[in-house]
């Protein structure tokens, strides 16, 4: 089979398309014939080497965190999946590699693909939908009457988080450019702040929950719009001690993670706000619940562009440009 690999770490380094042996299917694995994969900023950060401490992959390795396709084989202990089933997944860390023609994924990470969308559309969902659910539901306990600020509402996570928040009964404010305003309003955003011409700290007060995925300055300034007792979740860091413990890091790394986030955690405590760093986890059962929401029409995939399998480096360059609204998807069944 063919796959796109990181040959060496380096900012903007092109991936290389190579021939690879077929994946080894463990007893608990589902072998997926990849129909489509999607790109995420996480892919760029891993390629660039920014996450070498957190995710120490050794080049060469296949990149990619989102997949949709058909079951090609199942391990001996797998129940609930059969050859030919349409499925999707965000493979767990250490088992990534969706930018290939086949991938073996632990069955616990896999869910039936939504029946009402194409596999290309399904591939756009796993990482961002799991991220939104784990942030809003698991951490934020967002519900009816909650007031939310979702930064970068036109991005991959933002487009799904807005839809999920509205489903949960929240009032949603988001930041976006003027070019993204129509999109985020169509998804349900109540207030749209043009980050190029407006300061969100002048526009908002008493937010119960903020989802941030930008720079450290924006993260700290987000505290100024929050209500006491609120929750600030960051997708871009800095990592906190709770994350280090959950990852099983050694005491030295836990200490380092604590130092990295000490400043923002102190500022958050002073305002009565809970700061949390989220590095989403693979979860097939949670993804199956997302399938239900997609089939009910509650969550709709948002795709900016699709590229053929031979154009992965073009797709990565487009992702890196920062202009994508929604997701960038690789259609493995086509070339360009």
Q: Say what angle helices 126-133 and 156-167 make with each other, to 10 degrees.
A: 50
DSSP assigned state of 177: -
11-68: pLDDT as tens digits: 999 999 999 999 999 999 999 999 999 999 999 999 999 988 788 899 999 999 999 9
| Residue 163: per-residue pLDDT | 98
Task: For residue 247, name the pLDDT band (cuts at 50, 70, 90).
Answer: confident
Does residue 336 surpass a pLDDT of 90? no
Residue 289 is encoded by which pair of tokens?
């619940």
Residue 277 near residue 238 (C-beta atoms within 8 A): yes
Tell the residue number behind the tokens 């784990």, with chain if given.
134
Q: What is the pLDDT of residue 139?
A: 97
Tokens representing 250 are 């050694």
The mean of the pLDDT values for the chain is 95
pLDDT at 335: 59
Give the start-end residues of each E strand in the chain: 2-6, 16-19, 29-39, 61-62, 66-74, 86-89, 102-106, 110-112, 147-150, 171-176, 191-194, 207-212, 226-234, 274-277, 303-308, 327-331
* DSSP secondary structure letter of residue 157: H
- Is residue 298 within 8 Å of residue 167, measured between CB atoms? yes
CATH class of this structure's domain 127-277: alpha beta
In percent, how much of the chain has pLDDT > 90? 88
If one counts every other C-beta atom within 10 angstroms of the C-beta of residue 215, the result is 10
The reported pTM is 0.95
Domain edges within the chain: 2-124+302-331, 127-277
The architecture (CATH level 2) of 2-124+302-331 comes to Alpha-Beta Complex (3.90)
Peptide linkage before 60 cis (omega within 30 of 0): yes
């Amino acid at each position: 089979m063919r796959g796109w690999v990181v040959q060496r770490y380096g900012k903007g380094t092109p991936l290389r398309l190579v021939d690879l042996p077929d994946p080894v299917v463990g007893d608990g694995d589902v072998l997926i014939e990849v129909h489509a994969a999607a790109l995420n900023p996480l892919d760029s950060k891993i390629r660039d080497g920014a996450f070498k401490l957190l995710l120490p992959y050794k080049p060469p390795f296949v990149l990619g965190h989102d997949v949709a396709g058909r079951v090609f084989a199942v391990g001996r202990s797998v129940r609930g999946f059969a050859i030919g089933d349409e499925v999707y997944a965000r493979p767990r860390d250490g088992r990534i590699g969706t930018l290939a023609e086949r991938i073996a994924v632990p069955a616990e990470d896999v869910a039936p693909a939504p029946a009402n969308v194409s596999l290309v559309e399904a591939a756009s969902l796993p990482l961002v939908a799991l991220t939104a659910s784990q942030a809003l539901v698991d951490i934020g306990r967002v519900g009816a009457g909650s007031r939310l600020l979702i930064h970068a509402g036109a991005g991959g996570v933002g487009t799904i988080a807005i839809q999920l928040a509205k489903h949960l009964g929240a009032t949603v404010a988001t930041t976006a450019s003027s070019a993204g305003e129509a999109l985020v309003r169509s998804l349900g955003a109540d207030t749209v702040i043009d980050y190029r011409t407006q300061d969100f700290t002048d526009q908002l007060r008493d937010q119960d929950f903020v989802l941030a995925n930008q720079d450290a300055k924006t993260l700290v300034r987000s505290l100024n719009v929050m209500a006491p007792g609120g929750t600030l979740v960051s997708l871009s860091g800095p990592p906190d001690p709770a994350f280090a413990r959950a990852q099983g890091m050694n005491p030295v790394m836990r200490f380092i993670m604590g130092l990295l986030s000490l400043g923002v955690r102190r500022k958050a405590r002073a305002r009565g706000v809970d700061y949390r760093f989220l590095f989403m986890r693979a979860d097939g059962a949670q993804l199956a619940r997302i399938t239900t929401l997609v089939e009910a029409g509650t969550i709709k995939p948002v795709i900016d562009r699709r590229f053929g399998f031979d154009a992965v480096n073009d797709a990565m360059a487009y992702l890196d440009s920062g202009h994508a609204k929604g997701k960038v998807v690789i259609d493995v069944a086509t070339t360009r």
